[in-house]
Structure 1
Amino acid sequence: MRLKVTLKCEPDTILPYNYNHHLYKAINRAVYDSSTMGHKRDLGFFTFSQLYFEQYSISANGIRNLGKCVQWYISSIKGYFLDAILKGFSEAGSISLGNVNMPIVSVEILATPEINEVMEFSCMSPITVTCNLDASQGRMRYGRIEDHDFTEKLRQDLINKHYRVYDSLPSDDYLVFEFNERYISNKRRVTRLINFNGIKILGYMIPFKVTGNPELIRVGFHMGFGNRNNCGFGMVKVWYPPTAEDILGNEVG
């Protein structure tokens, strides 16, 4: 289950580049302010997207909004957790990113797509994999996509999430990830370095195919792939690669 939140944002408003911790606080505030019961233990069972702008430009101080609205998506495997967010947002009426206050125009509940044994996804927020603490630098190391165990860590993480949600291991733990190499070669940069309230987190924005147990894939779709999901990492949407007709149409147009 996921929500689509539409926020009013005046043209020429400057939003901070690193806004994840503000969005995280908005979700926590909505949940704790809501009277919905049974949700507080599930504060780790959600993820959220980057902000989507109608139009924007980059300035020295942040992201300059050129449209009238900004869209934001939140996902959780717990329906009543999103119900609590929905109620909390309705009561709050707005969210704040630093000194920028954005009224909430609408909150929509989105339909869940069918999840099969083979799925292709694109990232709505970066996928990150945490590794052991780097003793030489005294900080957390984040996995690189070229690491031999990067996809294995993604698989193990989904198994752990399944156990946390259902209190049981999946019936089948087979999963294979394939990141889109053509996309990687065509993009100048596929990494994102997010400053989450002073903590720098490395992630990747790359479409990928995953093959295996739909139970585990469904957990990833709702809760996020990789780590730091409730900090705004690992949210995905179903990716539909362009068809030959689409490409031809774009060339003709």
Structure 2
Amino acid sequence: MPRPPSPLLRPILGALDQVQQFTLLTVRTVASVFQRPYYVRDTVDQMDHIGFGSLVIVCLTGIFTGMVLALQSSVELAQFGATAYVGRLVSASAVRELGPVLTGLMVAGRVGSGISAELGSMKVSEQVEALEAMGTDPLKKLVKPRFIACVLMLPILTVLTDFIAIVGGQLIATLSLNQPATLYWNSAFATLLLSDIFTGLAKPIAFGAIIALVACYNGLRTAGGTAGVGRATTNTVVASSILILASDYLLTEIFISLFPT
């Protein structure tokens, strides 16, 4: 009879098992994207829920982020008489970093928690087992539409956040700095390169995949009734937020090496 693992090894073995299960879910989900059935209506419904349902929070995030960026940068640039470059700083910061990251974090808090709670409730009420009994693959029916919707909608929401952030910066530049709007917008677009736009669109694709996979993983592993649903929701928000920040660093390193300035 095999000896049970040491108490010191149990957390490590548990973490390794979770990594293995998450990796398996990721591989199966990506593979299922190209397999029938496609569940187009479910995917469109999820896109509507994720996209239109998140418009308010991403707009508020963008407007206040842009205003803060313009306000802080104007204070520093004023020391060198370079407030004309406020637009450059706002647009570069929003498109390259803050837009994708903040959008990902906001969507993780709203959409990721919702997906985890929904799937967790289905799991504890045995609806997932009922789908399997009817011959329906829960991964293709439940996970794939949410995965595709997150991957498609995060870049769109990020573009909206970037634009609203630049508009917010323009409000501060015009109202507080008395800077002409044409000067601000010329400065904002003068610094943007195709590599910046590519970076700003590639990151939210990765963030969308992270949010969907983490949320579905925690939701489908829910156990313990309503208390388990709460734990799964909390774990989803925490884990997806950390993974978004960690992957942002890794992607930034990769893109800097690919597109040196």
Pairwise TM-score range, normalised by the shorter structure: under 0.3
Higher relative contact order (CA 8 A, sep 6+): 2
TM normalised by structure 2 equals 0.24
Greater Rg, structure 1 or structure 2?
A: 2
The alignment's TM-score, normalised by the length of structure 1, stands at 0.24
